[in-house]
Amino acid sequence: MIELLTETAIQEPQRIRGLEMPWNRVMGSPETPARAARALGPWHPQEFMAECVETVPEAGAMMTFVFRRCDGAPLAFRAGQYVNVAFPVNGEDQEPVDRSYSLSSSPTQPWTFSITVKCDPTGLVSPWVHENVRPGTILEMLGPVGAFHLPDADRRARYLLLAAGAGITPVMSMVRTIHSLPGHADVVVLYHGSDAGGFAFHRELAYIASVDSRFKVHYSLGDRSVPERWEGLRGRLTAAMLEEVAPDANGRQVYACGPEGYLNTATELLQKVGVDDTSIYMEFFSGDRQTLLEYQAEVALATDIAEEIAEEIADSAEDYFEGQPAAFGLYEPGYDADGTLEASGLPLEISDPEAPGSDPAVDSPGMEPEAGSPDASSFDTVGTGSLTMSFMRTGINVRIDPTEHILEVAQRAGVRIGANCKEGMCGSCKVVKLSGEVEMNHQGGIRAREISAGKFLPCCSTAQTDLVIDA
Amino acid sequence: MTASVNVPLNSRGKLAASLPAEQLAEITALFEFRRTGYSLDAPFYTDRSIFNIDMEAIFGQHWIFAASTAELPEPGDYVTVDYGPYSLIVLRNDDGGVNVLHNVCRHRGARVLTEAAGSTGNLVCGYHSWTYSPEGNLIHASAPGETKFDKSCFGLKRAHGREVAGLIFVCLADEPPADFDETAKIFEPYLAPHDLSKTKVAYQQNIIEEGNWKLVMENNRECYHCDGHPELACSLFPTWGLTEGLIPAHLEEVWDRNKQAEASLEERCRRYGLPYEVVEQLDTRIAGIRISREPLDGEGESFSADGRRLSKKLLGDLPDFRLGRCSMHLQPNSWFHFLGDHVITFGVFPINEHQSLVRTTWLVADDAVEGVDYDLEKLTYTWKQTNLQDKAFVELCQQGAGSPAYEPGPYMKSEYQVEAFINWYVQRVQEHLA
Ligand code: FES
Ligand code: FES
Ligand SMILES: [Fe+2]
């Protein structure tokens, strides 16, 4: 046995490029089965009840509470976000007290989720939580909330994650999420604690760093009580320490979480080592009035949205998945429409009702002409045939049989379409098809890109359905 | 990625040979008695016959820069480029390679594609609609009543094309010079980490300078005149071009800053495995090159006033923005700056003996979003200004060359690369005329 455990050189795993959250494609997919999985995609906060199913004591006077939603739905969120929980601190019949806690679990394991709470003996809520929340406890929650989270897609996932004390909670969610996903990433974690025994999750962090070469984890003890056998870093955050753990911090996205003083220092130092302030994301675990007010506003906004959505669900369960509020960019997918990942070699596509090609009218026969454009039903109809082509500019309906070439029939009816080769080579007859299906036998006169943009060559095409043509 | 295409269909007789013997002898003598270390005699910048010889001996023989991959990313995308009398179509084919076709219809010679860039399926001549495949084959010519018309004899003429590290080069010679491969091996490792295949054109500037193409290239090869570039001076150390022992007292501090920046850039390059050493073979090989990576002043990231990044998305798999500028000069018609956040390509396209098109193209990561990740005005500011200043310098020289009072002047020490360019040019033409 012992021999088996001795270290042998093992090659690096092979990975696709970049990180991509599992819900990313699902949210953009127009296909029905994929749509169902949209429930796993985080797009808005909701109010829900959740049942505690496990409590795990952690180092540093912290406790992890694992929950599942009472309605059985997964909790869809982004790594780094938080939930707002109503705790009946003063008994079930009194107004509960609201507190926000970062989620520490990974959204890639969405059927349960956890928060990790540090006990502050002088506080009102956290000691109560530690003492009273047990498996079986049911609490009312609102979430997910917050703009501090990993991007949905990142071609160059290079992160520096800074955490102090309980600030490790959202960072832990990020670490677990990335670890659970394949794809290239480069993650440096720098975790500050005040005493050697107080680093929550340190065993799991050590494990992840030992099996996943994408992670480097560093610990630093504040300037108090450094035991003799301490092998980590010493002292508060400094520019030199940042340079030491991440000499390329300059090219990384930095996520930092901890108390206000720590984050203020971090901001200064990060700028010093050349990190652009647009690459720095922060979550305050303590703060002045201003910071607290901002968080309150964030939760209030989330409450509004949650209510709006609840109403919509009540109105029509059918439209539930379509009815995403467009008003708040905060809850929109953070990826761009052109798609930047090469994970599958395919560009990401987001269903955009405005974009050509994703128009649902294409497969519904009663397509309505755009506002302001003429109505084809008022056009004259000429010719014979089983199908109708509406030429919107010319203002004429032309009947055609599925065996006839569109160009010939159209030209005979007086529609002006320039044409030269009549063999699908020169492209001179190219027109835009607003709806319907054609069969085209071209010979290089048109590009795949143009076809997907709705163009076709009428000289070498036949009609398969009624057509609406921009000519 | 490299891709090459077939040999051209045919070649024409030497233009030089058609000059009257006397004139040819005169020109040959001008090359022969060129005074080393001095600027060229006036006719090199003003004479039509010498321009024609340049077109034949330099642009007709050597690998010349045409465009970057980002300018024709998808099958069917093309650019048209003109070098003096030549007009070429550089087209991305369905196999991902590039086809280089002479933009001259085989019917009655009309320009086939008239746009500077675009996307097309087959190529249709606008005059009588002769239609060519992207490979240049004539596939359609309406020919009522024609009996003996053999389409296969009238394909568009082809030239050589290659793509190296995201840059596209063309060669009009039947037999392209072979040592371009060696040069490509030199520059490929410098460029590869910037991954030009994952960039997009943020902006392209075309300016016509009233100057001979050689004056444009000469001007670029020295920074003796860089006092005339206040915007660029923010990025280049004011000690640029100086060496130990030549540092005036007021620049000693800057010199130290420069040395430090150099040392830390070196360290970073080593850490990331990026080559940075100077390779300078401007006139010691046929495909002459100079390449190096140098620190920039300030934050050392980009061509901005404070040296900070101008685009927030790193290129390729680069881990760090502070990579200064990797600069490359390729004989005869291009130079480049590769930075962590963007790339700038410069191409010189001669029009005639006294006019040249200078095309500057700014490339950013293809997922960078204008207005979010970069501000176009800021991205292009330094080099737009610098280009205009350079245009003015070139035009002053062109005017001078036209004066009866002009005589060649000496290149100073800091202008040794200008001398190398001219030396390269003279050698290449002489080889061709021999
Ligand atoms: S007429 Fe030539 S492609 Fe239709
Ligand atoms: S000149 Fe091109 S088709 Fe006649
Ligand atoms: Fe200049």
Is residue A115 within 8 Å of A83, Cβ to Cβ? Answer: yes
B133 contact residues in A (CB cutoff 8 A):
444
Facing residue for A427 by CB, picked from B75, B124, B369: B124
Tell me the C-alpha distance between A13 and A445, whole Å.
45
Is the backbone peptide bond immediately before B85 cis, with ω within 30 degrees of 0? Answer: no
Chain centroid offset of residue B37 CA:
24
Facing residue for A248 by CB, picked from B122, B134, B320: B320
Beta strand pairing call for A138-145 and A82-87: antiparallel
Nearest CA in chain A to B129: A420
- The structure tokens 């540090």 sit at A118
- Chain B residues near any Cβ of chain A (below 8 Å): 74-76, 119-122, 124, 129, 131, 133-134, 139-140, 142, 268, 271-272, 299, 301, 308-309, 312-314, 317-322, 340, 366-367, 369
Backbone angles phi, psi at A390, to 5 degrees: -105, 120
B369 contact residues in A (CB cutoff 8 A):
336
Within 13 Å, how many C-alpha atoms sit on residue A434's CB side? Answer: 17
pLDDT attached to residue A12: 80
- Chain A residues near any Cβ of chain B (below 8 Å): 155-156, 158, 186, 247-248, 250-251, 274, 276, 278-279, 336, 338, 340, 420-421, 423, 425-428, 443-450
String of DSSP letters for A103-151: B-S-TTSTTSEEEEEE--TT-SSHHHHHHH--TT-EEEEEEEE-S-S--
Is residue B281 within 8 Å of B273, Cβ to Cβ? Answer: no
Tell me the C-alpha distance between B91 and B72, whole Å.
7
User: Which of the ligands is closest to the CA of residue B126?
Assistant: 2
pLDDT tier at B18 (50, 70, 90 boundaries)? confident
pLDDT attached to residue A259: 93
Q: Is the pLDDT of residue B8 over 70?
A: no
Q: Do the Cβ atoms of B76 and A156 come within 8 Å?
A: no
B232 CA from centroid of ligand 3 (Å): 9
Q: Which stretches does DSSP call E strand in B295-341?
A: 325-330, 334-338
pLDDT (tens place) for every residue of chain A, 471 residues total:
455 556 667 788 777 778 888 777 766 666 666 666 766 777 789 999 999 999 999 999 999 999 999 988 889 999 999 999 999 999 989 999 999 999 999 999 998 999 999 999 998 999 999 999 999 999 999 989 999 999 999 999 999 999 999 999 999 999 999 999 999 999 999 999 998 889 999 999 999 999 999 999 999 998 777 888 888 999 999 999 999 999 999 999 999 999 999 999 999 999 999 999 999 999 998 877 788 888 888 898 888 888 887 777 666 444 444 434 333 344 443 333 333 233 323 233 333 333 343 333 333 333 444 444 578 888 999 999 999 999 999 999 999 999 999 999 999 999 999 999 999 999 999 999 999 999 999 999 999 989 999 999 999 999 999 999 999
**A381, β-bridge pairs:** A397
Single-letter amino acid code for the residue at A285: F
Chain centroid offset of residue B217 CA:
9
pLDDT attached to residue A359: 37
> Would you state the structure tokens that stand for residue A19, as one six-digit string?
């990180």
- Model-level ipTM above the cut of 0.95: no
Nearest CA in chain B to A335: B367
Handedness of CA A29, A33, A35, A40 (dihedral sign): negative
**Residue A309 host element (H or E):** helix A289-315
Task: Give the Å distances, CA to CA, from A426 to A335, A457, B72, B90.
Answer: 39, 10, 21, 19
> Would you state the structure tokens that stand for residue B137, as one six-digit string?
């084959």
- Mean residue pLDDT across chain B: 93
Choosing from A431, A459, A462 the residue with most ligand 1 atoms within 8 A of its CB, the one to mutate for a pocket test is A459
- Which is nearest to A415 in space by CA: A392, A438, A446? A392
pTM here is: 0.86
From the CA of B99, how many Å to the nearest CA of chain A?
16
Task: Give the Å distances, CA to CA, from A13 to A9, B145, B167, B233.
Answer: 12, 67, 32, 46
Q: Which of B367, B370, B378 best probes binding to A when mutated, by most A CB atoms within 10 angstroms?
A: B367
Q: Is the pLDDT of residue B320 over 80?
A: yes
Tell me the C-alpha distance between A342 and A155, whole Å.
8
Order of strands across the sheet that contains A186-193: A233-234, A215-221, A186-193, A158-164, A253-258, A280-284
Question: B377 in helix, strand or coil?
Answer: helix
Facing residue for A421 by CB, picked from B131, B268, B271: B131
Ligand 2 neighbours (beta carbon < 6 A)? B 105, 107-108, 110, 125, 127-128, 130
Nearest CA in chain B to A18: B317
pLDDT attached to residue A3: 55
B184 CA from centroid of ligand 1 (Å): 42
